[in-house]
Structure 1
Amino acid sequence: MRRDYIVEIFEELGKILAAVVLLKKTQPGKALDQINTAFKGTKFGDRAAFDSLSTEAFPDFLEQRQMGYETAEVIVDLLLEEVEIRLAMGDVEPLPALLEKTRLLMDYAVQKETALKIFSLKHDQQSARLKDLSGKII
C-alpha cells in the first residue's frame, strides 16, 4: 500500500507540473498557486514549511524525512518553473534562496539515485536550466 500511495503522489505532482507549464504565461498567479498546492503532498507538508527552512537546515531536513528521488526531481522542476515566473513578474527578492534550495534538492536527488544505481537524463537539463536562471538574477 505504501508504494501505491507514493506513486499516486508522484503522478499528482506530475499533473500539477503540466498545469503550471500551461498557466505560467497566461495566468502566472494561478501557476504559483498550483506550485504552492503541490507542496501539500510532499514531505514538506506545505509551502510555508518549505519557505521556513534555511538553506543550512535544508539538507538535514531532506535526509531526516527521506524524500523519494522521484518526488525531489518533480519539485525541482516546479521550483525552476517558479523561478521563471517570478523573473517574468519582476519578483526577484526570494530568488537567491529559492535557487539555492533548488540546487540542494537536485544534489539530494542525484545522491539518492547514485546510491540506488539509477541514471537519470533529467539532471543535465535541470542543471543547465538552473545555471541559466541563476545567471539572470545576478
Structure 2
Amino acid sequence: MFRDLAAFFLPFGIIGAVIAVACAIVVLLAVARSAAGVVGGATGVWIVGAVMSLASGFSGQWIPAIVAGSALIVALVAGLGLRVAVRAIEARPAPAIVAVVEESAAAVEQPAVAPVREPRIARPRVAERLGGELVTSKG
C-alpha cells in the first residue's frame, strides 16, 4: 500500500523538475539583462516546480529534486557571469571615425595666430591717487 501512488508521484516530480529547469533558464537570462521583475516572477514559478519535484521522493527517486535545486544555483551564478560580460560589452565606447585631412606645405609653414583684441573702455575711469589728485584714463 505504501507504493500504490509511486507510479503517479514519479512523473509528477519529473514534470516539476522540467518546470523548475525552464524557470531557471529564464532566471539566467533575466539576471544577465538586469531585469529584476522577471527574475522574481521566474523564481516564484521555480519554487512551484521545485516543490512538485519533491513528490518524486515518495517513489524513492530524488534525482528530479536535486536537478531542480541545482538548476537555480547554476542559473544564478551563470547569470551573474553573463551580467558582468554584458555590462563590459555595453560600456565599451564605439570606435570613432577619424577623417584624414591632408595639409598643404604652405599651411604647415604658417602657424595660425589668433588676433589679439585690445580691451575697450566704454567710459573714462576716474581714480584717485594718494595725494588726492584725480587721474582719468580714456579708452
Looking at CA atoms only, which structure, 1 or 2, has the larger radius of gyration? 2
- Report the structure, 1 or 2, having the larger strand content: 2
TM-score range, shorter chain: 0.3 to 0.5
TM-score (norm 2): 0.39
1 or 2, which has the higher helix percentage?
Answer: 1
